[in-house]
Amino acid sequence: MRILLLVSAFNGLTQRVWGHLADRGHDVGVELAPTFASPEELTARVEEIGPDLILAPFLKHRVPEDVWRRWTTVVVHPGPVGDRGPSSLDHAILDGRERWGVTALSTVEEMDAGPVWATSTFAMPADLIAKSALYNGLVADAAMACVEEVLRKVAAGEEPTPADRAEREVPGTGELPLLRRAAFELDLSRPAAELARTIAAADGAPGAPATLQGARFCLFDAVADPEPVDSLAAPGMVVGRDEDAVAIATGDGTLWVGYAATLADKRGTKLPASWVLDVAGVPFRPAPAALAESVYERDGDVGYLTIRSYSGAMHTEQCRRLTTAVEKALTEDTRVLVVRGTEHAFSNGIHLGAIEAADDPAAEAWANIQAIDDLCAAIAAADQVTVAAFTANAGAGGVMAGLCADVVVARDGVVLNPYYDMGIFGSELHTWTVASRLGEVDADRLLSAKLPVSVAEAATIGLVDAVGPRDPERFAAWLADRAAALATPDGRAETAAVARVRAPRRPLSYYRTIELAEMARDLFDDRRGFAAKRRDFLGKVASQETPERLRFADVRETVGR
């Protein structure tokens, strides 16, 4: 089937849909809706493509009537049947919904009101979950189930169900208003649990604004502690810190915040909270476990190091701390070390926000790349068998760091972006690891294509060694079984044999030196436009056109003339 993905952004979910369709043999291409100057221009492009089906996962832009009347056009909406409006997930989290869902609908004049092709509902997590984590986890999984049902029905010639006859599995749905930043204003005299819920609902964008220390900020990545750190502290007072996290007194309990941004005429870059808020003289207090940067656990001969990074970005000091955590874990008398992410994040490499906010961005970028290289070297040079587990999406240096392990596994549904597309050559020993797994020719092809890779495809080409279940608990059990098998004499011997084939032909320092020589020119001479690309990324500057690599091959040839 020839399928056009019409999207507002080519993000984690749309990349997952793209990879899923390509893995199943469909001819799939992408067009970014915001890049078209007029409905007529978009209609002309669709006519040029001639798709059998248009899928619009979580599209924020209106589809021209001339398009949806002529081609089957299905929008995937992040709400159950009956839900309408642009802030569905924000409302679901704010309202404490016990159940939510995703619906695939035909596009009609009225937004989110068309006939229903498919719906998939799920129980909301018992523990509070941030909007971005919900979006990339349960919502994305439900969206994929809807996409599969749409494909089945279209192939079978079936029709969607009229909206007024579609069963509403989640009661109380209807049209809900757009929630702007003011709707998430934090009153720090309220209970910490209530504030943490508001911050979770505003996660990513628009952010939850608050006034504290006489200034305006947006707060992110929050955890509520029911106990007050200081019973005499007034609400809004900063009463503790632990590495990047900051504790704030509230009307009931303590609000721990991992990230913050200044808020003046516009919101500043999201940075570790202890960098943004005034923590001079604030005492150390241990943050809740949910904000722990790394956690080490041992199960017999296997050690597990779980790393946590908000949005996957890892700044210089964080990389140094994680390197220390890896080195400490390797001093244990274990036979296997598993380095894994959380259910919601693995790593995307260096921290562009921290780099942009630095007094000398080039120097900070240089320090950051050196620090993540140290982390990669610690994993690559370990005497024990090392396993990297991609528990969530990963990109750029985050993928390359994982490839430094002896064995690389991934959770089903994860999307990898194993390339650099920010005006930098990249480091993290990738000139060794990718080629050692794919061969020089295929490694060059992968890095230059700059396309996302589903883990199913990654396993097929040898980029990862195995793919485990999608369900987080089942994946954890699968990973434990696999790690235990690697700890046996036979498992270690098999891993050693593979490692010998993939072993670097030169010292690791050779690859690192080559990469850093290229990076030095990118960072200090800015020969590939790293500074501008970094600022555009952080400022969420919309693309001016769809990257040609995402289009249908025949359309690329036409556009390129």
User: Under a CB-based contact definition with an 8 Å cutoff, are residues 344 and 138 in contact?
Assistant: no
Q: What is the pLDDT of residue 558?
A: 63
Q: What are phi and psi of 162, to 5 degrees?
A: -55, 145
Residue 250 token pair: 């509230």
- Strands 313-314 and 349-350 turn out to be parallel
Instruction: Kindly state the DSSP code that residue 147 receives in the 8-state scheme.
Output: H
Closest CA to 74 of 164, 152, 139, 141: 152
Q: What are phi and psi of 256, to 5 degrees?
A: -95, 130
DSSP codes, 480-504: HHHHHHHTSHHHHHHHHHHHHHH--
- Rounded CA gap, 288 and 243, in Å? 12
Mean pLDDT of 331-360: 97
pLDDT grade for 554, boundaries at 50, 70 and 90 = confident
Mean pLDDT of 75-87: 95
Task: Give bridge partners of residue 208 from the DSSP assignment.
Answer: 219
Mean pLDDT of 505-534: 97
pLDDT grade for 265, boundaries at 50, 70 and 90 = confident
373: left (phi over 0), alpha (psi -120 to 50) or beta: alpha
Residue 207 token pair: 């952010």
User: Under a CB-based contact definition with an 8 Å cutoff, are residues 466 and 482 in contact?
Assistant: yes
pLDDT grade for 116, boundaries at 50, 70 and 90 = very high
Q: What is the pLDDT of residue 350?
A: 98
**Domain covering 2-165 in this structure, CATH number:** 3.40.50.170
Q: What is the pTM of this model?
A: 0.95
- Helix, strand or coil, per DSSP, at residue 64: coil
pLDDT surpassing 50 at residue 404: yes
pLDDT grade for 109, boundaries at 50, 70 and 90 = confident
Q: pLDDT > 90: what percent of the chain? A: 91
Instruction: Kindly state the DSSP code that residue 541 receives in the 8-state scheme.
Output: P
Q: What are phi and psi of 183, to 5 degrees?
A: -70, -15
User: Under a CB-based contact definition with an 8 Å cutoff, are residues 3 and 21 in contact?
Assistant: yes
User: Under a CB-based contact definition with an 8 Å cutoff, are residues 121 and 173 in contact?
Assistant: no
pLDDT surpassing 80 at residue 111: no
CATH 3.90.226.10 domain position(s) in the chain: 293-524
3-state secondary structure 89-130: HHHHHHCCCCEEEEEEEECCCCCCCCCEEEEEEEECCCCCCC
Q: What is the pLDDT of residue 560?
A: 46
Instruction: State whether the Cα torsion 23-438-430-379 is positive or negative.
Output: positive
- Rounded CA gap, 526 and 401, in Å? 24
Mean pLDDT of 215-242: 94
CATH 3.40.50.170 domain position(s) in the chain: 2-165
Q: What is the pLDDT of residue 553?
A: 86
Mean pLDDT of 201-218: 95
Q: pLDDT > 70: what percent of the chain? A: 99
Instruction: Kindly state the DSSP code that residue 336 receives in the 8-state scheme.
Output: E
In single-letter form, the type of residue at position 447 comes to: L
Output helix, strand, coil percentages for the chain, rounded to the nearest 5. 40, 20, 35
pLDDT surpassing 70 at residue 112: no
Residue 222 token pair: 């929050």
Report the half-sphere exposure of 181 (CA within 13 A, side-chain side): 17
CATH 3.10.25.10 domain position(s) in the chain: 184-288
- Rounded CA gap, 269 and 272, in Å? 10
pLDDT surpassing 80 at residue 113: no
Mean pLDDT of 157-167: 93
User: Under a CB-based contact definition with an 8 Å cutoff, are residues 81 and 170 in contact?
Assistant: yes
- Rounded CA gap, 210 and 222, in Å? 13
- Strands 2-7 and 27-32 turn out to be parallel
CATH of 293-524, one of 3.90.550.10, 3.90.226.10, 3.30.750.24, 3.40.50.720: 3.90.226.10
- Rounded CA gap, 318 and 367, in Å? 12
Q: Which helix (H) or strand (E) holds 209?
A: strand 208-212
Mean pLDDT of 26-47: 95
Beta carbons within 10 angstroms of residue 44's beta carbon: 13
Task: List pLDDT tens digits, range 307-328.
Answer: 999 999 999 999 999 999 999 9
pLDDT grade for 561, boundaries at 50, 70 and 90 = very low
392: left (phi over 0), alpha (psi -120 to 50) or beta: beta
423: left (phi over 0), alpha (psi -120 to 50) or beta: left
Q: What is the pLDDT of residue 12?
A: 87
Mean pLDDT of 235-251: 97
Residue 197 token pair: 């819920």
Non-local (6+) Cβ contacts of 98 within 8 A are: 123, 124
Q: Calculate the CA dihedral of residues 460, 464, 468, 472 and round it to 10 degrees.
A: -130
- Rounded CA gap, 327 and 47, in Å? 57
Q: Which helix (H) or strand (E) holds 74?
A: strand 73-77
In single-letter form, the type of residue at position 62 comes to: R
C-alpha angle 55-61-64 in degrees, rounded to nearest 5: 75
Closest CA to 337 of 292, 297, 309, 371: 297
Q: What is the average pLDDT score of the chain? A: 95
Q: Which helix (H) or strand (E) holds 175?
A: none
Instruction: Kindly state the DSSP code that residue 439 receives in the 8-state scheme.
Output: -
**Domain covering 184-288 in this structure, CATH number:** 3.10.25.10
Rg (C-alpha) for the chain, rounded Å, is: 24
Sort 123 into a burial class: Cβ within 10 Å, 0-12 / 13-18 / 19+.
exposed
C-alpha angle 148-151-157 in degrees, rounded to nearest 5: 140
Sort 550 into a burial class: Cβ within 10 Å, 0-12 / 13-18 / 19+.
buried
In single-letter form, the type of residue at position 449 comes to: A
- Rounded CA gap, 347 and 315, in Å? 11
Mean pLDDT of 521-539: 96
CA distances from 285 to 213, 256, 311 (A): 19, 11, 24
H helix and E strand count, the chain: 20, 23
